[in-house]
Amino acid sequence: MVAQQGLGQLRAWAAGAQALSLLAVAYERGWLSFLAEPRELDELATFSGLPTDRTEGVVAALEAHGVVERHVGRIALSPAFEALVADDAWLYLGDRLGEAATMTRLVRAAVEDADGVTLGDADALAIARAAGGRPTPVSRAVYERLYDQIPEFADTIREGLLLDVGCGIAAGALTTATMYPKVRSVELEIVPAVAAEARARAEALGVADRVDVRCMDARKFDERDAFDAALWAQPFFAESARPETLAMIRRALKPGAILIIQEMDREPADDAERPAFAVRKLVYENLGARFASTAEQLIEEAEAVGFELDRLAVTDFGRIVIMRRPADG
């Protein structure tokens, strides 16, 4: 009986892996873009280069997983997946699939490599794309909702200068720049490929004159008393780099300016979420990062370099720590 339970779990894991493989190859081969419009089976077979009976089998498997639907003999993406591959998708399917493939490799590396793993440019870019999303009307609505809940930050950056530390592909800053025409920011990103993509996106959106992306170790940033507010993407910083990074941010901010730090990957209360949490924890700790810092731990870290707590905001997006550089120091 115990063995049967184990086999049942294994079958479920295998089925999930197979479903993800099916979705990934359908995306890579262009099926999902092609099926953004309803198609006849023969059309799809011609497009795919597969025999009609094989095409029918693939469609049946995709339909069983909710990826496509049939309407009066025609095949098209389901609304849920149509939204994920749309030109204006905030969280794009290709980015999520790239992250999934990267995380699969990093899980194996965490078990195989006793010395730990250094994240390469390609893997860092895959993770950054999935974490950041893309500036779209949907992302602007999300950020408007967030800024309503941390108005002291929104009011400061509308016409102020923002320091974004560990910006990734700068999705937040780019979205914000499309919302507020006077906002200006300096974006710090250590991975060249990620910084290059952030710059390219800023150029494409026409905001590169206001969003200044710099590829560098944040600890070496040396501007002082210059910024009205700062963001720190703390989950992506190695344990050894955190104190120096916070100290740099404090120096860079004007006296009285605020620092925003979001609590991420909180320890789940729901047992169903614990397996995925445990695997992510394994990966990120193997990369040298501190995983799932609580808001209280983040406050303590910032206070250790001279910040003062302004408030702990409980928002629809989790708990957000708002620290302040003392006005007199």
Q: Could you read off the pLDDT of 118-167 as tens digits, one per residue? A: 789 999 999 999 998 899 998 999 999 999 999 999 999 999 999 999 99
Q: Whole-model pTM?
A: 0.90
The parts of the chain modelled with pLDDT lower than 50 are none
Q: Which two tokens stand for residue 45?
A: 């077979």
pLDDT of 214 reads: 98
Is residue 167 within 8 A of residue 159, CB to CB? The reply is no
pLDDT of 119 reads: 85
Does the domain at 2-85 match CATH 1.10.10.10? Answer given as yes
pLDDT of 87 reads: 84
pLDDT of 197 reads: 97
How big is the chain, counted in residues? 329
pLDDT in tens, 91-124: 999 999 999 999 999 999 999 987 777 789 999 9
What CATH homologous superfamily does 93-324 map to?
Vaccinia Virus protein VP39 (3.40.50.150)
**CA atoms of 113 and 277, how far apart (whole Å):** 21
pLDDT of 5 reads: 85
pLDDT of 327 reads: 93
CB half-sphere exposure, 111, CA atoms < 13 A: 7
Measured between alpha carbons, how far is residue 85 from residues 27, 130, 184, 197 in Å?
9, 14, 31, 20
pLDDT of 271 reads: 87
Domain parsing of the chain, residue ranges: 2-85, 93-324
**DSSP H helical ranges for the chain:** 2-28, 31-34, 41-48, 52-64, 79-85, 93-112, 121-132, 137-149, 151-157, 171-179, 192-205, 242-252, 274-286, 295-304
Report the SS3 class of residue 231. strand
